[in-house]
Homo-oligomer: A and B are copies of this chain.
């Protein structure tokens, strides 16, 4: 059985970094933004556009909003659905190849047939804001309030996406095997223990 590990995460919790470092520790690939790149390439579209349409604007999928948006955005909705379908296909193909970590994109739900180990990464608000500030690029100087707003929006779209695919709620412990609180911790300090936990989990 392949070791498939999925990482869901709150925005700013360090989940992406955790996925990357854990993959290095386990010596397996970590797929994150590459999924977007693969979908964009297959569809001949811009990467930023794909990222936006396949995850953040997932609300466009909702049947309840279709009535409102129909006249303006039928093309957009169709393309969002198509991109999401393509993304699902890519995720399943990657998991088929062997051991890997997949960050985000509801991979925990999409790959449930492959018995992945599903990890949820979270932190308190102060830690998340601090992490966002530390990793901000030079030209991105958001205030605490703006970061908080962005955090809420992105987490909401992640929760919305999951709601479409699963009956367990995004971030509720019932949908995951392990939930890791990164408040006040350096991600690299958590990784060695986590790697040992993952190895023991799959070696049972």
Contact of A171 among B173, B177, B185, B191 (CB under 8 A): B173
CB of A108 to closest CB in B, whole Å: 12
Mark contacts of A4-16 with chain B using CB atoms, 8 A cut-off: 1 yes-contact digit, 0 otherwise.
Answer: 0000000000000
Contact of A204 among B171, B185, B198 (CB under 8 A): B185
- A124: which B residues are within 8 A, CB to CB? 174
Contact of A198 among B176, B180, B193, B199 (CB under 8 A): B193
Query: How far is it, in angstroms, between the C-alpha of A171 and the C-alpha of B174 when the chains are bound?
Result: 11
Q: How large is the interface on A (under 10, 10 to 19, 20 to 34, 35 or more residues)?
A: 20 to 34
CB of A13 to closest CB in B, whole Å: 11
Interface presence of A189 (CB below 8 A): yes
Interface presence of A179 (CB below 8 A): yes
Residues of A within 8 A of B (CB): 120, 122, 124, 171, 173-174, 176-181, 185-186, 189-194, 196-201, 204
